[in-house]
Homo-oligomer: A and B are copies of this chain.
């Protein structure tokens, strides 16, 4: 059995990067530094920096000037982040929150929702989906 990876809490920034990288790979087939930078509205230099860090943390494999791919660990993590993002978006959508506000708030809060809380919100969302009368009462 190989050495365990140190837990190393993932910062909100790390999660944001992974989320966008996965999204780019899913939609374009690859994630270049310039695309990540544009998507996150930050400079290419900042992206290069972070990508090197994520490589060091084993979340992606990166070759200078060549490109990057997510590792298994990185992809698994990114998928979980994306799923959490989608769940929160669906939830707020059901509550009738405006799309712009949803986007803004989810981007902020998603990094702070633990698995148990997420499961609870998921259960609630599912109930809400099959109770249009209840949803109507929320306006």
A108-B111, A109-B109 as given contacts; A101 in contact with B127, CB under 8 Å: no
Q: Is residue A14 contacting chain B, with contact meaning CB distance below 8 A?
A: no
The answer, among B97, B114, B121, for a CB contact under 8 Å with A120, is B97
Q: Is the CB of B120 within 8 A of A109?
A: no
**Contact across chains for A138 and B109 when beta carbons are under 8 A apart:** no
Contact call B124/A114, Cβ cutoff below 8 A = no
A134 interface contact, C-beta 8 A: yes
Q: Per DSSP, are chain A's interface residues mostly helix, strand or loop, or mixed?
A: helix
* Contacting residue for A134 out of B97, B98, B111, B127, CB 8 A: B127
Interface residues of A (CB under 8 A from B): 92, 95-98, 101-102, 104-105, 107-109, 111-114, 116-117, 120-121, 123-124, 127, 131, 134, 137-139
Number of copies: 2
A125–chain B nearest beta-carbon distance, Å: 10
> What is the bound-complex CA distance between A92 and B119, given in angstroms?
11
**Could you tell me if B109 and A112 are in contact, using CB atoms closer than 8 angstroms?**
yes
Set B96, B105, B121, B131: member contacting A95, Cβ < 8 A = B121
The reply to whether A92 and B120 contact each other, CB–CB distance below 8 Å, is yes
Contact B112 A124 (CB under 8 A): no
- Nearest chain B residue, comparing its CB with the CB of A98: B116
